[in-house]
Each structure stands twice: as C-alpha cells, then as structure tokens.
Chain A
Amino acid sequence: MRPTHRPLLLAAATLLTAGALSACGGGSGDDPDTVKISYKQSTDNEIRVMDTYLADIKKQFEKANPGKKVKLVPIKAPDAEYYTKLQQMLRSPKTAPDLVYEDTFLINSDITSGYLKPLDPYLAKWKDWDQFIDTAKTAAKAADGKTYGVPDGTDTRGLWFSRSIFEKAGLPADWQPKNWDEILDAARTIKKKVPGVTPLNVYTGKPVGEAASMQGFEMLAYGTGEDPLYDPEAKKWVTGSKGFKDSLAFVETVFKEKLGPDVSDALDPNFPTRVRGELLPEDKLGINLDGSWLPQDWGEGAGHEWPEWSKKLGLAHMPTQAGQAPGKVSMSGGWTWAIPSKADNPDLAFTFIETMQTKANAKKWYVANSGIAVREDVAADPSYVKAQPGIEFFTDLVASTHYRPAYPAYPKVSTAIQEAMESVTTGDASVADAARGYDEEVESATDGEVIEK
C-alpha cells in the first residue's frame, strides 16, 4: 500500500467515529432569550383555539420584553399520546421545553418523577395568585406541600342532548333524568323512534384515554356512593366495590343494546374530536355525556363555527345512580401551566405565565376555551358570565363536583379503568371478569395499597 493513501482511509474512519462521538457530546445550546412552550394542538386541523390564543400572548410578551422570544412547540396528538410525548420530552434537558401544558390528573405522577419545578418562590412574589380560588391553588399541590402548576381554568361535566332528536322521539325539551334508568330509557326511545342516529354516547376504552375514565366511567361511579376509587381515610385504592361493577354494567348495557356509537367508532382515539366536530353539529347524536368545554370548537373563528348551538342543544346534569342525594354528579379536572425541572429559562417561563394570567388575558382564555374561571375577579365579572350560554349551568355544577384522586398512581389506575371498560364494550369480558381484571391491575400498579369494599 502506498503510504499516501493510508491517511485517506484513516481519515474516513476517524471522521465517522468522531462524528458519532461528537454527536453524543452535543449540548442543547439553547438560546437564553427564548422561551420554548409545548402545548397540545387539536388533531382536528380546523381547530386552532389554543394556537390562536398563544400566538396573541406571544405577541404581547415579546412586545413587553424586548429581546425575548417565544417559540411555540405544538404537539399534535390525541390526548393519551400527548402525555406520552410530553413525558418523553421532559426526560431530557435537550428536549425539555421551558413551559408545558399539564393535565392535573398527571401532574402528581410527573412531580414524583422529578420532571417539574416547584413554583413557590415565584408564586410568593406574584400578587395575582391571591385571586385564585382555593381548589385551584391545591390542584397542582404535591404531597410535599409545594405547588407545581398554575391552573388556567377548570371544568365540569354533564349531559348534552340534541333538541331536534328529542323532539322527533317525543321526549321533553327540558329533559332532566333523575337516575340512570331514565337516561337509558330516553336512549331506548331514541333508538326506536329516530333511526340513523346514535342515541347515547359514553366515552369508553383505552384509545380515547382519560376521556373514558373521567367523562365516562367516573361520572357514573361517583354517582353510586362515596369514594368509589380511593378511600382517603385508609389512604388506599378501592377494589371490588359494587359501585364499580354497576358502572361497568351501565357501559355494558349501552353497547350491548346498541344504544351507543358503533364500537369501532367508540374505540377510535379521535372519537371525542368527531363528537364535537361532526356528530353533535350534524344532529347525529342524541345524548352525550361530556365536558363543559365543548363550545370552544363552535365559537367564532374556532373552526367549526356553530353559534346557534345553544338553541340546538339542551343541557342536563348527570343524575346519581338511583337518584340518591345530592341527586347530581359532576367531575372536575383542568389543566395547568408548569415549568419542567430541566427547563433552561424558568424565570422567563414564569413571566410568560404572568402574561397569560393578567385578568384580561385570563378572561379571554376562559371564554375562548369554554373554561370555568378559577380566578375570583374574572368569575365575578358579568361580562364573563354572559359571554357564553352554558357558563352559568356548568359553573353551578362546581358545588356538587368531585375531583379525581390524582395521586401518582392515578394514571395507571385510570388505564386499568379504561381497559375494564373496553373489554365490556367489545363484549370480550363479562362485568365480573372485567372488574376482577381491574382489581388485579390496581393491586399491582399501587404495590398492594388497596382496600376491598
């Protein structure tokens, strides 16, 4: 071999190796003047409510803080996949944004993992924090007593029904079921008298994720008695309860009698998007057990404009199982803004939170998002209460609402609920089998911290 060519070969080899190694050492090299913000973008390409709102705040922020930039990093995925992507991003300093949109049910789990930063030092100096109602302040408070997120509103849940379908079925326009059976009866009537529509939707199964657990299952379970999932006194998760099985049986009935959507539709991760974008506006769904935020898609410029929805849809609160006191059920959750522990620019990120939470901006968001205000000043503002039909109805439900036992193990318990629901929905398992499966799953997910009822 002629010596001149050895270097060439060597060079090629070292270059490749060096490339591989240098790539490993490549730091994140983030710009100290840029706040990176991750949030959930609707999978419906027409819906850009949050994008529009954040773009507006970004403009305000950049104007008020010259030289600082905001980079929006939308994550477009169905709910369940959004959480996965977010956690993947939070694990590495390279990908961790400066500000993330976190669902309250997951926040304790992510706090335990050390993904988030306590905000107490910032909150102490922030006067607007006093405007937040107490439940909101505790929404993102961890077991260590520190607060990790600023909630941007809360929500409640109830029954939405189509007035035109009800009229065709001969059901009352001011429908208010007093127990579960009355809901099923109404659905049966619709099935009989109005062919071609889905009588009743109850979210179910893993693909729709937390929507199934909260809008679907827990709205039922919390109407069967006290603490169907978690016993706060014993500090243990509940297994084997009758309320659990009754709730599963309700789901089973809905799908067995074909009162619900076609099972393959119900098990599509984007079914919630379809309900809001298609089924309700097109009068194809009789009764929908869903959240207070639905009108956000129907506002002006929101994508599926439907200003007359309040005339087309009726609202009823969800009754308890047999009408027992207090007669109605609601669940509340909500989302918070949180700062990852691996964020590069936490201070700037908190400044962005402050910009979002001026009274005017907070109100704008509550209205755009059909959220329920968690700030006293906004809640008392008549222009907020009047801004949208429905706000009053859903705000009243706050009095009788329940919160999820959002402990670190909750996400796994929630998945176990979804699996139990899914197996009775498809008919793969009986109620008893599905409940047993749930009990086993919960026991292993919580390391045996369970109490049988």
Chain B
Amino acid sequence: MTTAPPAGPGGVVKTPRGPDLPPPARRSAPRARRGLLRALPVSPAVVLLALFMAGPIGYCAYIAFTDLQLTGQAESSFIGFDNFREAFGDERFLNAVWLTLVFTVLSSLIGQNTLGLALASLMRRASKPVRTVTGAVVITAWVLPEVVAGFLLYAFFRREGTLNAVLDFLHLPSQNWMFTLPILAVSFANVWRGTAFSMLVYSAALNEIPKEITEAAEVDGAGGWRRMWHITLPMIRRSIGTNLMLNTLQTLSVFGLIWVMTRGGPGNRSQTLPLFMYEQAFQKSMIGYGTAVALLLLVVGSLFSLVYMRLLRTEV
C-alpha cells in the first residue's frame, strides 16, 4: 500500500501560492460585508472550536485555581496557586513528570521517529514484496484501536506472554516486563503503535528528494551514512520537525494504552502525567488538583508546540 508513487496530494503542499484571484462578481458589495461573507464558511468550525476547545481550556484555567472535589465537599472555593504549590512539592507529581519525560523521549523522539525514518529509507532500497509486507504490518499496528493495541501488548509483555516465550527460545533471560520495567514496556508499546505515522511522513518526504541528487552523491563516493547525514537529513528537515512535533505531542497525551496495560502501576512506575491527572481528579476525587496538573500539561504541550513552530518558521 505504501509502495504507490507519491501521487498528487503528496506534492501539493509545496505548490507555491499564486496571486490571489479577484473575487467573483462582487464589486457592488461593501468591503466589510464582503469580508464577513467570505469568513462565513469558517464560522461552523470556529463555533465548534470555541465551544468545545477554547471553552474547556478556559474552564480548565479556572478550575485549576479551585479546590473542587468529586466527593467529600459541600462547596468549592478559590484557592489561588495552592494546587500548583502542592504539585511541585508532591513527589508523585515529580515522578509522573519524570516518567512522562522518559516515555516521550524513549518512545517518540528515539523510538517512533528513528525507527520510522529507518523503515522509510530501507523501504526505498528493499524489494517490493518485503516493502509491501512490512508496510502492511506496521500500518496495521497503527490503525488498530488504542485499547486493542493495549491488550495485544499486554499479552505480549506479560510474564507468560510471547516476549518471554521468544526470549526463552533464544536462551536469553526472561522477566516480568510489566512489573520490573513497566515504563519500558509501555514505551515499546507506543513505538509499536505509533511508528507507522513517522514512516509514512518520511516515505513521502524521501520520495520528494530528486533521484539525481542522491545518485550524484553516490557517484562522488559518499557512503550511505554520509549521504544520510549531509544530504538526506537536511533536505527533509521540515518533515522531521513537523513529525517530531506531532509525535511528541501525541505521545504526551497517551492515556488508553497505558491505562489498559498497567493502569499506571505497579506502584507508580508507569504513571505518566495523564494517568496521574486522572487518578488525582477522579480516583482521589481532587478535581481541582487534577485540573491544575492538566493545565501544566497543556502549558508544556503549548511550549513544545511554540518552539517547534518557531524553529520551523512555519509558513501557512
């Protein structure tokens, strides 16, 4: 499926924007009205986004400063920065921050991104059947619903699961992955599930590099690694940036996968921020505190996003 040539849409993004057309027969309309009319089609989207995205974000910023509880409280009150002060003094919060960092770096930056790029570049050289099969398998993992992926990898990493069976077969020491190194297990799970996206992005990007350039470098005797480093990577710089951004932020908000596999345990060994947030807000009934954590997560996400946008100086 991924072997198809980069058809139309693959290339469209770079299409330079021509000069804007004059609007069709509308000379009589006053400018302001015309602008409004033009903006009209955007309004359903704007309304939806305002009500269901901006609304909750604003509400989030409000609840984060209250001590709202799910149970055990007659009335909530405004408590200023208490929730945040508490968070930064809370070992479990700091543990969650650390695990989120590990999870993101391991599974997104290193795992999905590198593996995706490796797969994409290997695919350019591999034979067609192998390429098709690998593509199909990797993409299936991506298309599968989150919870199903969670179950499959739960079965894979369990003590009596497939991974240990394979390790036994190879005479390597097996262990109870979900218990000893749950954060590693969920990170691998996220790599398994998310690599396809990077692979697709990089396949498309690599296909846009003119053959002549790589061939010329080959003729000059540049080895594979040097070609990768000096020619390919700089040329797909923008794709790398966008992909990293989407991957990182996607990974920051993974909940279902970890919930199904470990529920954040054992202990708090795989409790990333989203799980910590859920536990505080609902299992410990501290909605205010949980929301403060959510707000921090949002802020971190926004910072990431801004930094990437800055680096790329995105043109839209």
Contact = CB atoms under 8 A, between A and B. Distances in A.
A205 B285 contact: no
Interface string A329-344: 0000000000000000
Nearest to B70: A87
A409 B73 CA distance: 9
A16 B48 contact: yes
Contacts of B40: 9-10, 13
Contact of B71 (A115, A264, A422): A115
B71 A87 contact: yes
Contacts of A206: 265, 283
A104 to B, nearest CB: 14
Contact of A411 (B74, B91, B285): B285
A207 B263 contact: yes
B241 interface: no
A59 B283 CA distance: 35
A12 B44 contact: yes
Contacts of A207: 263, 265
Contacts of B284: 412, 415
A264 B266 contact: yes
A408 B48 CA distance: 39
Contacts of B266: 205, 263-264, 267, 422, 426
Contacts of B238: none
A412 B269 CA distance: 21
Contact of A84 (B43, B69, B70, B178): B70
B267 A408 contact: no
Interface stretch (A25-33, A105-113, A240-248, A274-282): A105-113
A267 B265 contact: yes
B168 interface: no
Given A263-B266, A412-B284, A113 B26 contact: no
Contacts of A1: 24-26, 37
Contact of B283 (A408, A415, A422, A426): A415
A128 to B, nearest CB: 29
Interface in B39-66: 40-41, 43-44, 47-48, 51
Contacts of A114: 74
A408 B71 CA distance: 8
Contacts of A183: none
Interface in B62-98: 69-74, 86, 91
Interface string A398-414: 00000000001101100
Contact of A16 (B25, B26, B47, B263): B47
Contacts of B304: none
Contacts of B255: none
A16 B47 CA distance: 9
A345 interface: no
B74 A84 contact: no
Contacts of A192: none
Contacts of B41: 9, 13
Interface string A107-142: 011101111000000000000000000000000000
B202 to A, nearest CB: 37
A423 B267 CA distance: 6
Given A1-B26, A20-B51, A207-B265, A113 B179 contact: no
Contact of A113 (B69, B267, B282): B69
Contacts of B131: none
Interface in A4-56: 6, 9-10, 12-13, 16-17, 20
A106 to B, nearest CB: 7
Contacts of B37: 1, 6
A113 B47 contact: no
A409 B86 CA distance: 18
Given A10-B40, A267-B266, 16 more contacts: A1-B26, A1-B37, A13-B40, A13-B44, A16-B48, A87-B285, A112-B73, A113-B72, A115-B71, A262-B176, A264-B178, A264-B179, A408-B72, A411-B72, A437-B91, A444-B86
Interface of B: 24-26, 37, 40-41, 43-44, 47-48, 51, 69-74, 86, 91, 159, 176, 178-179, 263, 265-267, 269, 282-285
Interface of A: 1, 6, 9-10, 12-13, 16-17, 20, 80-81, 84, 87-88, 91, 106, 108-110, 112-115, 205-207, 262-264, 267, 269, 408-409, 411-412, 415, 422-423, 426, 428, 437, 444
28 contacts: A1-B25, A6-B37, A9-B40, A9-B41, A12-B44, A16-B44, A16-B47, A20-B48, A87-B70, A87-B71, A106-B71, A112-B74, A113-B69, A113-B70, A113-B72, A113-B74, A114-B74, A115-B71, A205-B265, A205-B266, A206-B265, A262-B159, A262-B176, A263-B179, A264-B159, A264-B266, A409-B72, A428-B269
